[in-house]
Structure 1
Amino acid sequence: MGSTTGEFKRDANYIDTRITADGRDGYPVEPGRYRLVVARACPWANRAIIVRRLLGLESVLSMGICGPTHDERSWTFDLDPGGRDPVLGIERIQEAYFKRFPDYPRGITVPAIVDVPSGAVVTNDYKQITLDLSTEWTAYHRAGAPELYPEKLRGEIDEVAELVYRDVNNGVYRCGFASSQEAYETAYGALFARLDWLSDRLAGQRYLVGDTITEADVRLFTTLARFDAVYHGHFKCNRQKLAELPVLWAYARDLFQTPGFGDTTDFVQIKSHYYEVHRTINPSGIVPVGPDLSGWLEPHGRAALGGRPFGDGTPPGPPSAAEVVPAGHGAGVDPVDGIDGRDGGFEGG
């Protein structure tokens, strides 16, 4: 969404219904009742994928995966046989939105959580979804699940996460979709000033808040994972590549090599989405072959700073076979092979 100044304005109005332990909004936490709908390409959805996995909620909250591209109507389940989600029986997530709100006027976004019995969307409030997975679904967390939103650190997590959202998570979009030189340069300046601030903050500590992985790290990671593959070129965020920012690059590799992060990151679908869908920015729809992804697996050296990734908890186990990122779509593979194997479809992030 644009403005008279050429600045990109994100529609931040989401369905604010919550799924809670006490069911105060009419949707109580119940195993098997809900389905988390995501797209691996979307950074906002990738957060929910990571948190669900870290907390071990796979057996109680199923996950539907849309394809990496979409048209103006909505994300589609084109990766599934027959192009339909096997649980919801729908071709587009739009159908679940219209089931609850027949005249829904806003963007059809992921992540979204759908009430399976009714087929209606419950919420698409991506910021609250991950917080509620941490705080409202505790009865179903796996043994050893980390505290991603510990009560004593919530104020600091919220403060850091808001700065990261404004200047980095949304900041790359403010660069990429700016429609005036002035708006672009303002967003560009704020983005790299914040990345420098983050580099300074992380130079002496392993994680953003405290000595363990928190919600703040999840939120920053999904943008960093897409930076060199998409935002540096496609969104003109090109002062430096992530790989040229030593502290942030090591930090991102540390997280990438942590179970739940890199193994949920699909670079092929990420590139397919941004370069194929955003035709106002990339009219040809050509998807670049690079960058070389093998660097994501290089040693990061961040353990020397101390910290314990999962605190008193333990890493999650491997993803289920149905949720493994396709071969050739992760790091450490030949990018040409990755392009040759990419999935088709329509989506947006």
Structure 2
Amino acid sequence: MGDSSGTDTDERQGEQGSYVEESFERDTNYITTRITRDARDGHRVEAGRYRLVVARACPWANRTIIVRRLLGLEDAISMGICGPTHDRRSWTFDLDPGGVDPVLQIPRIQDAYLKRFPDYPRGITVPAFVDTTTGEVVTNDFKQMTVDMETEWREFHREGAPDLYPEHLQDEIESVSKPIYTEVNNGVYRCGFAGTQDAYDSAYERLFTQLDVLEERLRTRRYLVGDHITEADVRLFTTLARFDPVYHGHFKCNRSKLDEMPVLWAYARDLFQTPGFGDTTDFAHIKAHYYVVHRDVNPTGIIPSGPDLSNWATPHGREELGGSPFGDGTPPGPPREVVPADHNPVLALL
């Protein structure tokens, strides 16, 4: 998954994928065990039983962090946070005292994978749910994880939580999200890890064609689907937040910066300034991960000082399009797990 750990044997790690004719192809064979109300896969929704393991650097994990916060699931689902970089084996809990997760009592998420699958052959990725009663990974299927948090965990949602996956909009959410995933979320990686000029040119064209489509879609509507934030917006936001700091330069997605695409830039700022989005974004971790871990793309490991991120705090004017972030609901309270002030100085400007 995106920036999750463990692929082949190279230093890229964070990319669970392979190459077909020198074009990056993501491996989407995740652990599909689900946590549901009826426990049909053997794992029942239960407050306090599961730990969500994430890395703030990873866009796929960032989705789960946003959804957990918007829905107020902090008391029901604890969260372990890995550091922004990792070695060949997996993400590590190097932010915790002694380098050990205080709940799972392991130094790296790989241990939870191997506890369940001693010969696990695939990437050791985040996000992942771990069953604290067994210490075993349950799932790393990032897309299903957020949908299940939105639907299967409803009894534990906070009062005023938004409906991020309303039943009557689910088909539209998935329809809109499909090209976002293939052309944008995954498209930036196809640009960055292209092995030939032709592969890069194709990925670049597909990426910006879809960004232009989204620019037009969002010109007359505040959110991607419906009149309040949904799962579709969460899926797009985490790529947009990383676009100028990382993808524009590091992955050669440089036709234009996000702040040069006026509609998408206003849309991204609108979400960033909404509780749950900007306050879960750790720019320091994002830059450290991509520029340090991807040594085949950035051999020196130098982390660039820019760009200036203060423009994320500027007015966006999207309120004029109608709608409201949470529909009939309310914003979440202050974050439980706070991004350090020097990792996201924009928040002090809001």
Q: TM-score range by the shorter chain?
A: over 0.9
- Is 1:107–2:123 an aligned residue pair? yes
- How far apart are the structure 2 equivalents of 1:244 and 1:99? 47
- How far apart are the structure 2 equivalents of 1:93 and 1:4? 29
Q: CA deviation at 1:327?
A: 1.4
- Is 1:53–2:69 an aligned residue pair? yes
**Higher mean displacement: 2-11 or 220-229:** 2-11
- Is 1:94–2:125 an aligned residue pair? no
Residue deviations 1:197-230, cap 9 Å, x none?
0000000000000111000000000000000000
Q: What SS class does the counterpart of residue 8 from structure 1 fall into?
A: strand
- Structure 1 residues 333, 139: CA separation in 2 closer, same or farther (over 3 Å shift)? closer
- How far apart are the structure 2 equivalents of 1:331 and 1:235? 24
Aligned-partner residue type, residue 119 of structure 2: D
Contact 1:293 1:333 in 2 (8 A): no
- How far apart are the structure 1 equivalents of 2:326 and 2:119? 43
2:195 aligns to what? 179
Contact 1:2 1:179 in 2 (8 A): no
Residue deviations 1:70-101, cap 9 Å, x none?
11110000000000000000000000000000
2:333 aligns to what? 317
Contact 1:111 1:126 in 2 (8 A): yes
1:195-274 matches, within 5 Å, as: 195-274=211-290
Contact 1:44 1:111 in 2 (8 A): yes
Residue deviations 1:261-316, cap 9 Å, x none?
00000000000000000000000000000000100000000000001110110000
Contact 1:76 1:83 in 2 (8 A): yes
- How far apart are the structure 2 equivalents of 1:225 and 1:210? 22
2:342 aligns to what? 328
Aligned-partner residue type, residue 21 of structure 2: T
Contact 1:19 1:132 in 2 (8 A): yes
- How far apart are the structure 1 equivalents of 2:227 and 2:72? 21
Q: CA deviation at 1:255?
A: 0.1
- How far apart are the structure 2 equivalents of 1:72 and 1:249? 35
Structure number with greater CO (CA < 8 Å, separation at least 6) is: 1
Contact 2:278 2:347 in 1 (8 A): no
Residue deviations 1:142-176, cap 9 Å, x none?
00000000000000000111110000000000000
1:77 aligns to what? 93
Q: CA deviation at 1:6?
A: 1.1
Contact 1:145 1:314 in 2 (8 A): yes
Q: What SS class does the counterpart of residue 315 from structure 1 fall into?
A: coil
Contact 1:2 1:178 in 2 (8 A): no
Give the gaps of 5 or more residues in structure 2. 1-16
Contact 1:6 1:183 in 2 (8 A): yes
Contact 2:279 2:347 in 1 (8 A): no
1:339 aligns to what? none
Aligned-partner residue type, residue 276 of structure 1: V
Q: What SS class does the counterpart of residue 167 from structure 1 fall into?
A: helix
Contact 2:18 2:27 in 1 (8 A): no
Give the gaps of 5 or more residues in structure 1. 335-349
- How far apart are the structure 2 equivalents of 1:331 and 1:17? 38
Q: What SS class does the counterpart of residue 147 from structure 2 fall into?
A: helix
- Is 1:158–2:177 an aligned residue pair? no
Q: Percent identity at matched positions?
A: 72
- How far apart are the structure 2 equivalents of 1:331 and 1:188? 31
Q: CA deviation at 1:5?
A: 1.7
- Structure 1 residues 201, 155: CA separation in 2 closer, same or farther (over 3 Å shift)? same
- How far apart are the structure 2 equivalents of 1:15 and 1:287? 33
- How far apart are the structure 2 equivalents of 1:44 and 1:2? 18
- Structure 1 residues 333, 138: CA separation in 2 closer, same or farther (over 3 Å shift)? closer
- Runs of 4+ in structure 1 off by over 4 angstroms are none
- How far apart are the structure 2 equivalents of 1:135 and 1:76? 30
- How far apart are the structure 1 equivalents of 2:331 and 2:347? 24
- Is 1:127–2:134 an aligned residue pair? no
- How far apart are the structure 2 equivalents of 1:3 and 1:110? 21
Contact 1:39 1:67 in 2 (8 A): yes
Contact 2:59 2:239 in 1 (8 A): yes
TM-score by length of 2: 0.94
Q: CA deviation at 1:4?
A: 4.4
- How far apart are the structure 1 equivalents of 2:227 and 2:75? 29
Contact 1:36 1:112 in 2 (8 A): yes
